[in-house]
Structure 1
Amino acid sequence: MSAAPATTVVALKRTEGAERTLVCLGFCGGGTAAYHEWAAAVPAGTDLLAVCYPGREGRFAEDFADSWEALAEDAAAAVRAATAPGVPYVLFGHSMGGWMAFDVTTRLTAAGDLLPRTLVVSSCNAPDRGLTARDRFPDRRGTDDELLTWMSTHGLLPAYVLADEDLTEMAVELMRADLRVRDSFTYGGAKVGVPLQVLSGADDPVVGDDTGARWGALTTAAHRHDVLPGGHFYTPEVWRTLPDRIPALTAPDGLPHAPATGHRDPEKAA
């Protein structure tokens, strides 16, 4: 294993003698910042790492990836370098990052590399239908104001960004670059052989009602689907403590007592 640059794999929490690692992949228009607050939520003995895509944060000087293939290869190399035999890891991806985490797992499988104990995909439809109209939100053809409205309404765009013209310009540029990558995605027919946990928001306008069942068909291992309160990023409290909803971070077998697809979170309002 070759060490990844600290700008590519950002260590948000390191633990002496860590028993496991949570590796997070980003969403459209995002970086690693959204995962920083998880450092207080991961279980004891857990390292928290986040992969930074090209063109942002410590990799600002690099060009954005120009295609899904390029970004997936970059992300797979980062995950490969961030993990080591003897320390099991959970791979997490949110929104576009969910598809990326799935794709990275198929690439690691094909290469004979260390696979995640569990794959966790959050707020994304199953990729087997390819990119549908439902998945093209936000639409990269939208105006700057429309993209900013989507990011502030359904995303995690901080208020201070909207108050700064230079920051809003950078946010829109980053979002458009990631949407171009997302829109070049094609599903190649692969499945994974690792346990799969699907998370979705009860009020998410992007995710379809059949997402749990369709995702379940894309793994040959156990799977579960948890529906959580809120929209595309759940509620602020749910997002802040999301590692608490990942059983693989505490269970030795990775996905204990996997419930039937459509398992409802007890906090979800009737």
Structure 2
Amino acid sequence: MSVVAVEPAAADPVACLPFGVPEGETVLYCLPHAGGSASVYRSWAGRLGGIAVAPIQLPGRETRMRETPYTRMAPLVDELADAILERQRTRGAYAVYGHSLGALVGFELVREIRRRAGLAPVHLIVSGCSAPDLLEGNDGQPPVSEMSDEEVVGLLRRLGGTPEPILADRSVRRLILPPFRGDLTVRDTYGYQPEPRLGVPVTAIAATADPRASVAQMRGWGRQTSRGFRMHLLSGGHFAVLEHAEATRAFIRGAVEG
């Protein structure tokens, strides 16, 4: 008997924004890496000057633990576009930031908002992800949907960013593997489709030793905008933006405030 993956129904927009959105400021919607949660960015609140940090919570983690994670890009960005356009209907400017898978989701989110003729962000900031037109298949790996739990854990060890005590604890692994599987399947099944360049400035933050996104691959984001591109460099690997959070926030603030 075949098993068909069923995507979750669109959630209440408030569910995507567990910490709320302050009034009267430019809002920065922050999308996490694969398996990541909104709390990754919570410490940034109040540390970006006049920019209000709004971490996005995806299904299957923390406050949305009981929800089924997405496994495809289209329904994921549909939900996020619904939430952001609803929240921004009576608000001012906003920007979008995403790291790793979050960068790819952010890019497709901005394209979906454009398709709906919605209010565009003032800036898109990306890190830890090759330009979308350079992404290729599964990076030579079998699809995550075909991997055993042990194989997924091995993949997470290679990717880094997940503490070993968490990966070694089977009870904790039962909680974290579903969102990882969902997010990595979103990446596995993603296929870039050419569209006109975004009419939104793009800033890329690259790491000098990121095995997932080289400096040259990050530079390719410049092809996705007609409104100006800038790239910054950080020393370190795939999670350099979190390890050098102060510098990352300075780059983001400079981009959004122009």
TM bucket (normalised to shorter chain) is 0.7 to 0.9
8 Å CA contact retained: 1:205, 1:231: yes
1:72 aligns with 2:73: no
In the alignment, the residues of structure 1 paired with residue 250 and residue 185 of structure 2 have an alpha-carbon distance, to the nearest angstrom, of 33
Which of 131, 136, 145 is the aligned partner of 1:131? 136
Which of 191, 211, 216 is the aligned partner of 2:222? 216
1:93-112 pair list within 5 angstroms: 93-112=98-117
Normalized per residue, the structure richer in helix is: 2
Which of 189, 196, 201 is the aligned partner of 2:202? 196
Structure 2 residue runs without a partner (length 5+):
1-10
Which of 2, 9, 12 is the aligned partner of 2:17? 9
In the alignment, the residues of structure 2 paired with residue 144 and residue 215 of structure 1 have an alpha-carbon distance, to the nearest angstrom, of 33
Shift in alpha-carbon separation, 1:137–1:33, aligned structure 2, 3 A: farther
Query: More deviation in 225-234 or 159-168?
Result: 159-168
In the alignment, the residues of structure 2 paired with residue 56 and residue 27 of structure 1 have an alpha-carbon distance, to the nearest angstrom, of 13
8 Å CA contact retained: 1:43, 1:249: no
Equivalent pairs, count: 246
8 Å CA contact retained: 1:131, 1:183: no
In the alignment, the residues of structure 2 paired with residue 236 and residue 68 of structure 1 have an alpha-carbon distance, to the nearest angstrom, of 24
Look up the SS of the partner of 1:6 in the other structure: helix
Deviation at 1:79, TM superposition (A): 2.2
TM normalised by structure 1 equals: 0.79
Identity within the alignment, %: 28
8 Å CA contact retained: 2:143, 2:188: no
1:1-270 pair list within 5 angstroms: 5-11=13-19, 15=22, 17-40=23-46, 42-84=47-89, 87-134=92-139, 140=144, 143-151=148-156, 154-158=159-163, 161-162=166-167, 164-190=169-195, 191-234=197-240, 236-239=242-245, 242-248=248-254, 251=257, 254=258
Deviation at 1:61, TM superposition (A): 2.3
Deviation at 1:127, TM superposition (A): 0.8
Letter of the structure 1 residue corresponding to residue 109 of structure 2: V
8 Å CA contact retained: 1:8, 1:58: no
8 Å CA contact retained: 1:38, 1:242: no
8 Å CA contact retained: 2:211, 2:238: yes
Deviation at 1:249, TM superposition (A): 5.8
Look up the SS of the partner of 1:246 in the other structure: helix
Letter of the structure 1 residue corresponding to residue 56 of structure 2: V
Deviation at 1:109, TM superposition (A): 1.1
8 Å CA contact retained: 1:26, 1:51: yes
Letter of the structure 1 residue corresponding to residue 103 of structure 2: G
Letter of the structure 2 residue corresponding to residue 10 of structure 1: P
Letter of the structure 2 residue corresponding to residue 79 of structure 1: I
Superposed CA RMSD in Å reads 2.7
Q: 1:201-225, CA deviations, whole angstroms, 9 ceiling, x for partnerless residues?
A: 1110011342243210110011011
Shift in alpha-carbon separation, 1:212–1:204, aligned structure 2, 3 A: closer
